[in-house]
Structure 1
Amino acid sequence: MGWLFLALAIVLELSGTVSMKLSDSFSRWVPSVLMFVFYGASFTCLNFALGYMKVSTVYAIWSGIGIVLISLVGGFVFQEKLSLPSILWIGMIVIGVIGLNMSGKGG
């Protein structure tokens, strides 16, 4: 059940971040309101996930996958370019999340 809450938290956080971009610095009210709704729901699901899993695992996965997904959305949807060093550092984050979970100390 913890993994389900974590997956929902990730999808909702991604939706909140996309809404933030679409809000155009709060100049568009619908995406601005949606941003708060999505982030509130994301943190709620994150809180429920913490009832089943360790905080280090939950937060590392939530933030790491969120970074990867929003980078992909930024590139494909908003045509934002990532430099090679940025891609490599994002890769390091992914490796860190995997390492944390494999170490047994984080999960």
Structure 2
Amino acid sequence: MKTYLLLLIAVMFETFGSTCLQASQQFTRFWPTVGVVLGFGAAFWFFTLVLKTLPLGITYALWSGIGIVLITLSGWLIFQQRLDAPALIGIALIIAGIAVINLFSSAGHP
């Protein structure tokens, strides 16, 4: 369970870093650029802690899937970015994939 908490923390930092990346306007704004460096730095540090327990493929699948959902929410809430029906269906399929890994795969459990 601690491993999944570390993974969630890593994804939250990655979401923060990605959100700052958008806000940095191609690294032309100082504080969002600092947020990019700190966010991604912390994200990858926590990611390495998770890799001590979970295999790389499973870890990256979960990292990517959860990250896509959180970044989509960030884009919607902060930057007023909208998604069409096919995009929402695709995100739902990603969530379904995460559920399959966690519910049915023994590879996803430390």
Output the TM-score relative to the length of structure 1.
0.92
| 2:67 is equivalent to residue 66 of structure 1 | yes
5 Å-filtered alignment, 1:1-107, equals 1-107=2-108
Question: In 1, Cα distance between the equivalents of 2:18 and 2:12?
Answer: 10
Percent of residue pairs bearing the same amino acid type: 34
Say if 1:56 and 1:106, in contact at 8 Å, map to a contact too.
Answer: no
For structure 2, list consecutive stretches of 5 or more residues without a partner in the other structure: none
Residue 105 of structure 1: how far off its partner (Å) = 4.3
Question: In 1, Cα distance between the equivalents of 2:61 and 2:102?
Answer: 9
Following TM superposition, the consecutive aligned residue runs of length 4 or more in structure 1 with deviations greater than 3 angstroms are none
Q: Deviations 1:63-87 (Å, cap 9, x if unpaired)?
A: 1111001111111221101011000
Structure 2 letter corresponding to 1:67: I
Between Structure 1 and Structure 2, how many residues are aligned? 107
Give the 3-state SS of the residue equivalent to 1:77 in structure 2.
helix
| The 10-residue stretch of structure 1 (49-58 or 22-31) with the greater mean CA deviation from structure 2 | 49-58
Residue 56 of structure 1: how far off its partner (Å) = 2.4
Output the TM-score relative to the length of structure 2.
0.89
Structure 1 letter corresponding to 2:72: S
Residue 106 of structure 1: how far off its partner (Å) = 3.1
Structure 2 letter corresponding to 1:82: L
Structure 2 letter corresponding to 1:26: F
Question: In 2, Cα distance between the equivalents of 1:23 and 1:53?
Answer: 33
Question: In 2, Cα distance between the equivalents of 1:95 and 1:36?
Answer: 31
Residue 12 of structure 1: how far off its partner (Å) = 0.2
